[in-house]
Structure 1
Amino acid sequence: MVRFIWRYLRGRLGRSVALLAGVLVATTGFVVLTGATDTSRLEVTGSVGRETRAAYDILVRPKGARTPLEARQRLVRPNYLSGQFGGLTFDDWAKVRDVPGVGVAAPIAMIGYSTMSLHVPVDVTDAVDRSLDRQVIRVDTTYEAERGLSRADAAPGWVYVTKNSVIYPSFEPSPDRPGRYTDGREYPPFDCGGGLFPYPDREVLPDGTTVPVCPTDQSAGDLRAGQTRSDLERPWWYTVHLRPDGRFETGSRSGPGAPLGRPVDRLVVRAFATVPFLLAAVDPDSEERLVGLRGATVAGRALTGADRPTDTPTTANITAQRIFPAVASSRAYVDLKAATRLSRLASPQVSGLSSDAVRTALTASAGTPAGEWRGDVNDRYRESMDRRMAADALSGELLETVVQPGPVSYERLPDGTLRATTVPRAPDVFGAGRFAGLPQPWLAADQWFRPLTRVELVDPASGGAFRSWRPVGLFDPEKLTGFSDVSRVPLETYEPPAVTGADPASRAALGDQPLLPGGNPGGYLSPPPLLLTNLDVVPALFDRYPDRAAAPISAIRVKVAGVDGFSEVNAERVRAAAEEIARRTGLDVDITLGSSPEPQTVELAAGAFGRPELRVGEGWSSIGVASRIVRAVDRKSLTLFALVLVVCALFLGNAVSAAVRDRRTELAVLSCLGWPARRIAASVLGEVAVIGTVAGLAAVGLSLPLAAVLDIRVPAGRAAVAVPVALALALVAGLVPAVGAARTHPAAALRPVRGTSRRRRHARGVFGLSVVNLTRVPGRTVLGAGALAIGVAALTVLAAVTIAFHGTVVGTLLGDAVSVTVRGVDRLAAGATVLLGVVAVADVMYLNVRDRAAELATLRATGWTDAALVRLIAYEGGLLGLLGAVTGAGAGLAAAAWLVGDVPYRLVAVAVGTAAVGVLVAGVAAIVPTVLLRRLPAARLLAEE
């Protein structure tokens, strides 16, 4: 048997080499190209919430930004972006923005907390005894936060009310006349005892003389630069003129150009409350498209991409400033109140005394209770912000430093509750190197659950302009997309912070109300960014820190185009975009589509100001679709590479079938000599098995250097797969012809080889004869056309994805959402498939010409010219190519349309184009057999016939 097979292969050496070359090319291509199917893929696991729709679908963060808790349990705290500072560059943003399918890529750069002094209004009108010429109203303030559970007494405030006229410093911006007052006169400075401003209010006595009235809040004590004072340590003072008409008039120490207070019927003073606001930078246009920031503007104007810091010059009393524009929240979202007790001190002596002497005298005096008052920071917040937006505002809010909070750490208790761990306090983080006595939130002396870091935006040793921010407009966060609907829309950038009691004791302590932030940046609750500036100003803000300025972006929130709700197709569309973002950037990419709120019980340690230990329920976000980058096989590419083998099998099967047809007489003789059917089949399979084995061994040696040249990683173990692949390919291709050979009847030795067409057809003309010829051996025609059709179908799908869908298409297949992304190796595989299909067409035409050699010689002898014979073969090749190309293009069009559920005109145009290419290359392939026509030995063939 072995000798028989070897003699046959040697006897038909040319044909054997051709078959071996085909198997070698297909097997080598398959092994090498499958080395490129390992690709970065975003694997999505877990179930998804079908009722959710976040403002964004994908979250991009710096590499390694995921917390351990998030990595373990896929749980994310509300406003988790508030603790992420920088890490992404503007180039990262551009890469994300350029990914196909990305509709909006909105960057956000968390900068840190900036504190602002707000006022708690206190109405003391009813505490004033209008019969007294002079009196002092003492205001004892108890600050309350966290639903009244945290309480602290502040230093008293004082309201000096006199019927004598009062003159106030005019703050005229002239370096020559700093002591000018509202009566038009100039007065010498008065030392109130270490105060910052030597021109206090002056009381006009009945004899016309004036005496200074030193406020108790003017002394900064022995604080050094960088040290701060809590709101609890800040006494405050008002000098009030009780006019003859019963109204009240107060002055202003706000700065140059500040007008005197208008006479008012009610005397409302203000206690100070320092509140931290988280400052972030956004791209205004992207933020508008993502959450409707511009449409949420309720006062002033919206933030624009043209906003830049402005510089103000130094005047007599105000240092030069660099003011950064911002839009502020129209709501404070802080639970901070003040309960005040009023008492009246009659006829005290305060005029002409130093601040310390005034404080001593007033503290020693007994007062008469004069009422109580409760105020809320939120009551006058809007008024305060409107005043800061005014065109004549003297300055902005100080921005010399920012405070950046870190993440909260947790330990899990046996019952599954998370205990938030406390960290040491560092009160001086609220200071600024060029200032002494800056205020800090009183609740900052409470427990800290997160570390705080001070970032000096200005060199403390510099004498340059102060830095500040000023609001240019107000936006209502509750008008932003998804802000108020916390229960349905998780993972929002501006989510309102709130937790509720998780056990009866905690609910009772909170009065069945949610716990809100109280103004402690180190506290557990982290508010969203409520101050927004333009992203383009961040490099100027961090000019002391080149690394921060180069990578200021904390996260990029991505909204995928065409995704307006959850569906399997939309989920796959989001996954495909996320995968491409991860591939291009190498950053942490999370899919937020389908995220859902999940209550989490958190235990908070008791506070330093009376708040008991609480167990609270917090709506964390469960990222329902966990995502991770894995090395996975691109099944679409693997399918394309398998098609290379399929087409090769068709080509090989056609060739073996032709060989069996040629040897029908020989095989019939063997049957007559007693060879059993199985031995005849084994001989045919043995021949193709030898070809396959040799091709496989050659492919092993060829694939490794070829992979190195193409920069594709192919391990030796994978290269060794070439042998079984080639052998299996050869056996599969030869199986049907071998079975046919085994069924050869001995009488076949007496019958000529002819086509299988069952009825005679009368052809008219060259074209008609070409049609008849193709139907004479329909199996061969189908094999050739099918091989070409497979290649054209693959090429049509890839061309449709590339041209009509810009490289990626998402749709459904058999009920599953799938995405197809075209890569270079895919195009190479499709090209190889088409090429093998063309070779199969050429082989079919070659076999047709060879089998009909005598017939063609007869036509030439009867007067057919060579041109007519060439046209005949060309028509057959063209029709065969047309059949395969149209079938393949139609199948590819149907597959692409099925995938996307639509047939756009561009898809049809692509299908028509690939069909035309298929017909063209098939026509070119038909040229090869025409060369054989000129070599036909007409005389010998006619003699044999």
Structure 2
Amino acid sequence: MLNIIWRQLRGRAGRSVALLLGVLVATTGFVVLTGATTTSRLDVTGAVERNTEAAYDILVRPQGTRTPLEAERRLVQPNYLSGLFGGITTTQYEQVKAVTGVDVAAPIAMLGHSTVPVPTPLDLTDAVDRSLDRQVIRVDPRFVAERGLSGAPGRPRFVYVTTHPLIYPRTDVAQSSDSTPYTDGRSYPWAACGWAAPREVLPDGRTQAVCDPRSTLGSPGAYSEREEWSLLAVRMLPDGRFEAGGGVLADEWSGTPSTSDRLRIAVHLTVPLLLAAVDPAAEDRLVGLGGALVDGRALGQDDTVAVRRTGGAEMHTVPVLATSSPFVDEELRASFTRLPAARPAGVGLAELERVLGRGPALPAGDARQDVATGWRTRLATGLSPDGCCFGQLQTMVQAGPTRYDRLPDGTLRVGALPAADPAIYGDQATFNPYPRPWLAEDTGARSLRRLPLKKAVPGTLYRSWRAVGVFDPAKLTGFSDLGRVPLETYEPPSAQGADARSRDALAGRPLEPGGNPAGHLSAPPLLLTSLASVPKLLAGGGSPQLTAPISAIRVRVADVGGYSDRAAEQVRLVAERIAQATGLDVDITLGSSPAPQAVELPAGSFGRPALRLTEEWSALGVASVITKAVDRKSVALFVLVLVVCALFLGNAVAAAVRDRRSELAVLACLGWPARRIGALILGEVAALGLAAGLLALALAVPLGVALDIDVGWRRALLAVPVALLLALVAGLAPALRATRAHPAAALRPAVATARWVRRPRTLAGLALANLARTPGRTLLGAGALAIGVAALTLVAAAGYAFRGAIVGSLLGDTVSLSVRGADTMAAVATVLLGAAAVADVLYLNIRDRAAELATLRAIGWSDAALGRLIGYEGLALGVLGAVTGAGLGLAGTAWLVGALPGALVTVAALVAAAGVLVTSVAALVPAALLRRLPTARLLAEE
């Protein structure tokens, strides 16, 4: 038998070499391509583990606080804590800390927004005409926020500049109810101005009060800074410097006059800063809070409310760490006008505005200043009782979560709410000393409520916070770039324009919080106090947070540094223990990643148009989805490459058997048993497979090195059994067919007539009829191409899923870069193998129908017509295989990523079109063989 096999291989050297090369190409390709897909999987898992190291692995929140979006889409909105106030008790916190496997449990209790005045310095020096002895500079402010899209004018502020001396009320001596001692040693009544105002000393020795209208505005919390107007008195000294009292030229109020080379005034903008309580030690371990300090001292574990009694009043001061940046996009723009004839000294409040509006007005320049600069100016004064930084806690506002409507295309639309009641920011009863934010009058996205605090008779209880240190949120550590936003507690939210109109409106910049507590984008907690301060702050107010102050607990699990199967299981077990011990909502945040979401924001009341934004939400469990998808993808590609190789070889072996049908029929007639004939065929195929495997073993490693693919000798050794198995599988069906050989087979044509096909009337119809005459061969070639197209569709689907349509995450973007090249190479190779199979089918058809084609040429058919006939056959094979493959690819896509987005249907159609094009090109090779047909000899043989 072995001798016969060897003679058969030598006797048909051409077909043997062709079959050997087919097995060699298929085996080498399989080993190299599977090495590429394995390498890409290692790249994926490595990229996932590197990019999922976050500050914490588990998020614990009060029971029932999961939003519908989280339940349906596994999404968490940016700064999810901004609308979550309390709900977890300290006992439950202790239970979480006691769970085995918990490394750090860091609680955070959101308390509410404190309104803080931020000075925005305006330099009026160049607006002053130094030749005049008296003049008024009118400052017309315009308050602007949200990248300049929201804006509103404010009442004018006036600065009275005089060369005459000014005297000021004294604060270091007792005052009567109707007069106040001044710095000239005399006392003056203050009834005309409503309070003790500076007085101008005229050349004749008389003094006149320069009234400030702020005394008539009522309780500051009842109006916004837009409604505030003032008249400040400044003396221009003979040496050109400026002198003023009451903090006019300084950033903080002072009881003594100050001088400066520049005339700078500070228009205060009211900025809401979110106050939260933390466990300083746990927060330091979680995010490195101590290492983020840039001024002052760290917050102590036992830092609590300091109580100081002055007369009949109590002063409650909460120690805090203040942010180095307010994360508020708000600025003040001002235009200056010189009023050279205005003389406000001695004018009563009732006539003041009318007097200031008389006379000529000369443009004198403009200026602009933003909140961030003002905050830095305040920080520059240093942490001290007379410097930075402090704010009121008389009235604290809590904002609820944003309400979303889900549109059919998946876009989230923010639900608009009317502006909150101004009284929520305080009044005379709460003694809030600052105006409410001007943007609080805008259309909102969150409901507001006032934090219930202990009520007291006005003037008897004052609550405030004072900074003991300043921290820089950018210096907090403990997270990777892809795990940082937006689950990280201190990251400021921002949203990019999602369409051209929105991007143009935002001038290509992101939208940021604008200073409205009820606004859609909410700044993170920027004032941090200790949990020990919460009971004293909330005592007597009736707030439910007094018994359950904690809003969330962020948990880091021991020995977890990024996503892996082991880490995921470890975190899952800890999360289950926490849920069982506390009954709280527990979410695993390990493996989360920013996930862009389209959000529609309705128009605002101050000019901001409706915007379509892209926001970075957090998608939970992204790492798990990606690793499962890449595993499925790897298995799919392994199988598809193997099947295409088997089909390619099966066609080649079947062709070799068909060439020998006469010989096999004779052997059967001579009495060879069926098993011996089958063994002969399988033996020949096995010998070629073994030889091809040995050659593939030698070629796989160098080829892998050339293509920068880690094949390795262990994987290369698989070439021998794979080649042998492929050869035997490919030869099994032809061998079985050979065992049924009959002597009459030698007389039957290789190509039968398709009885069910109608008589063709066109060239295309004739091509279809020819394909129907060899249905097995046709289906084999089309099937090989279909599998290749399906593989390429699956690769496109995996890349689409990783990039964001299904997983929808930045982590998916990173992963897709690591898998796209290897997977695409594997898929393209399968398509090319499928196209080669189609070309082989066409070549065999030409050989088997050579006599028919010669007859057609003899009766007048041109070579071009015969070429078109073969081309139509190739096109039909390509369409059949490509369409089938696209359908299989879409079905595999649904299995791979769990959904079938409409965009992937388009991708599948494009891949199918590419498959048809490649097949049509491959059909040119067998079509070119038509010119070499020996017409005369073929006709003579017939």
Alignment TM-score, normalising by the size of structure 2:
0.58
Contact 2:593/2:622, CA 8 A, preserved across alignment: no
Aligned equivalents of 1:374 and 1:394: distance in 2?
A: 23
Within the candidate set 581, 586, 592, 1:584 is matched to: 581
Matched to 2:415, the amino acid is T
Aligned equivalents of 2:299 and 2:330: distance in 1?
A: 28
Matched to 1:618, the amino acid is E
Within the candidate set 226, 232, 236, 1:242 is matched to: 236
Q: 1:242 to 1:497 in 2, by over 3 A?
A: same
Shift of the alpha carbon at 1:234? 0.8
Contact 1:191/1:354, CA 8 A, preserved across alignment: no
Contact 1:172/1:180, CA 8 A, preserved across alignment: no
Matched to 1:112, the amino acid is G
Aligned equivalents of 1:82 and 1:566: distance in 2?
A: 27
Aligned equivalents of 1:402 and 1:183: distance in 2?
A: 39
Within the candidate set 509, 512, 529, 2:505 is matched to: 509
Shift of the alpha carbon at 1:313? 3.5
Cα deviation per residue 1:182-216 (whole Å; 9 max; x = unaligned)? 625242331245x4xx2111111122332211013
Aligned equivalents of 1:143 and 1:94: distance in 2?
A: 47
- Matched with 1:267 is 263
Matched to 1:100, the amino acid is T
Aligned equivalents of 2:411 and 2:159: distance in 1?
A: 49
Q: Does 1:452 align with 2:429?
A: no
Q: 1:73 to 1:419 in 2, by over 3 A?
A: same
Within the candidate set 372, 382, 387, 2:376 is matched to: 382
Contact 2:452/2:542, CA 8 A, preserved across alignment: no
Count residues in correspondence.
574
- Matched with 1:7 is none
Larger Rg belongs to: 1
Aligned equivalents of 1:64 and 1:48: distance in 2?
A: 34
Q: Does 1:233 align with 2:227?
A: yes
Q: Does 1:338 align with 2:335?
A: no
Aligned equivalents of 2:482 and 2:230: distance in 1?
A: 40
Which residues of 2 match residues 412-427 of structure 1 at below 5 A? 412-426=406-420, 427=422
Cα deviation per residue 1:831-868 (whole Å; 9 max; x = unaligned)? xxxxxxxxxxxxxxxxxxxxxxxxxxxxxxxxxxxxxx
Aligned equivalents of 2:296 and 2:179: distance in 1?
A: 35
Contact 2:79/2:487, CA 8 A, preserved across alignment: yes
Within the candidate set 390, 393, 396, 1:402 is matched to: 396
Which residues of 2 match residues 485-496 of structure 1 at below 5 A? 485=481, 489-496=485-492
Q: 1:172 to 1:393 in 2, by over 3 A?
A: farther
Matched to 2:212, the amino acid is P
Aligned equivalents of 2:253 and 2:407: distance in 1?
A: 59
Within the candidate set 301, 311, 314, 2:307 is matched to: 311
Q: Does 1:603 align with 2:600?
A: yes
Aligned equivalents of 1:226 and 1:212: distance in 2?
A: 23
Contact 1:218/1:355, CA 8 A, preserved across alignment: no
Cα deviation per residue 1:227-272 (whole Å; 9 max; x = unaligned)? 6111110113321110000011111169999253532111111122
Aligned equivalents of 1:417 and 1:57: distance in 2?
A: 28
Matched to 1:429, the amino acid is I
Contact 2:485/2:491, CA 8 A, preserved across alignment: no
Shift of the alpha carbon at 1:513? 0.5
Which residues of 2 match residues 649-798 of structure 1 at below 5 A? none
- What secondary structure is seen at the aligned counterpart in 2 of 1:530? strand
Aligned equivalents of 1:394 and 1:505: distance in 2?
A: 42
Q: Does 1:549 align with 2:549?
A: no
Matched to 1:115, the amino acid is T
Unaligned runs of 5+ in 2: 1-44, 625-942
- What secondary structure is seen at the aligned counterpart in 2 of 1:217? helix
- Matched with 1:322 is 316
Aligned equivalents of 2:255 and 2:619: distance in 1?
A: 54
- What secondary structure is seen at the aligned counterpart in 1 of 2:170? coil
Matched to 1:56, the amino acid is Y
- Matched with 1:296 is 292
Aligned equivalents of 1:524 and 1:109: distance in 2?
A: 21
Contact 2:108/2:552, CA 8 A, preserved across alignment: yes
- Matched with 2:95 is 95
- Matched with 1:79 is 79
Contact 1:483/1:496, CA 8 A, preserved across alignment: no
Aligned equivalents of 1:311 and 1:518: distance in 2?
A: 34
Shift of the alpha carbon at 1:90? 0.7
Contact 1:54/1:489, CA 8 A, preserved across alignment: no
- What secondary structure is seen at the aligned counterpart in 2 of 1:233? coil
Matched to 2:418, the amino acid is P
Aligned equivalents of 2:227 and 2:445: distance in 1?
A: 24
Q: 1:468 to 1:179 in 2, by over 3 A?
A: farther
- What secondary structure is seen at the aligned counterpart in 1 of 2:491? coil
- Matched with 1:131 is 131
Q: 1:366 to 1:452 in 2, by over 3 A?
A: farther
- Matched with 2:769 is none
- Matched with 1:810 is none
Q: Does 1:189 align with 2:186?
A: no
Q: Which moved more, 1:252-261 or 1:328-337?
A: 252-261
Shift of the alpha carbon at 1:566? 2.0
- What secondary structure is seen at the aligned counterpart in 2 of 1:70? helix
Aligned equivalents of 1:573 and 1:524: distance in 2?
A: 36
Aligned equivalents of 2:143 and 2:79: distance in 1?
A: 26
Greater helix proportion? 2
Aligned equivalents of 1:487 and 1:58: distance in 2?
A: 13
- Matched with 1:530 is 526
Q: Does 1:209 align with 2:203?
A: no
Matched to 1:605, the amino acid is P
Cα deviation per residue 1:273-313 (whole Å; 9 max; x = unaligned)? 11100000011111111111111111111111121222333
Shift of the alpha carbon at 1:462? 6.0
Cα deviation per residue 1:722-767 (whole Å; 9 max; x = unaligned)? xxxxxxxxxxxxxxxxxxxxxxxxxxxxxxxxxxxxxxxxxxxxxx
- What secondary structure is seen at the aligned counterpart in 1 of 2:413? strand
Matched to 2:466, the amino acid is R
Aligned equivalents of 1:300 and 1:454: distance in 2?
A: 31
Q: 1:497 to 1:366 in 2, by over 3 A?
A: farther
Alignment TM-score, normalising by the size of structure 1:
0.58
Aligned equivalents of 2:485 and 2:530: distance in 1?
A: 26
- What secondary structure is seen at the aligned counterpart in 2 of 1:94? helix
Matched to 1:506, the amino acid is S
Contact 2:109/2:549, CA 8 A, preserved across alignment: yes
Aligned equivalents of 2:368 and 2:221: distance in 1?
A: 30
Q: 1:501 to 1:139 in 2, by over 3 A?
A: same
Contact 1:173/1:256, CA 8 A, preserved across alignment: no
Shift of the alpha carbon at 1:218? 2.4
Aligned equivalents of 2:577 and 2:244: distance in 1?
A: 64
Q: Does 1:120 align with 2:120?
A: yes
Aligned equivalents of 2:220 and 2:136: distance in 1?
A: 33
Matched to 1:304, the amino acid is G
- What secondary structure is seen at the aligned counterpart in 1 of 2:525? coil
Aligned equivalents of 1:252 and 1:512: distance in 2?
A: 42
- Matched with 2:106 is 106
Contact 1:323/1:396, CA 8 A, preserved across alignment: no
Q: 1:231 to 1:487 in 2, by over 3 A?
A: farther
Aligned equivalents of 1:614 and 1:139: distance in 2?
A: 32
Within the candidate set 548, 556, 560, 2:557 is matched to: 560
Matched to 2:231, the amino acid is W
Contact 1:79/1:493, CA 8 A, preserved across alignment: yes
Contact 2:485/2:616, CA 8 A, preserved across alignment: no
- What secondary structure is seen at the aligned counterpart in 2 of 1:263? strand
- Matched with 2:473 is 477
Contact 2:379/2:388, CA 8 A, preserved across alignment: no
- What secondary structure is seen at the aligned counterpart in 2 of 1:584? helix
Compute the RMSD of aligned alpha carbons: 2.7
Contact 2:116/2:434, CA 8 A, preserved across alignment: no
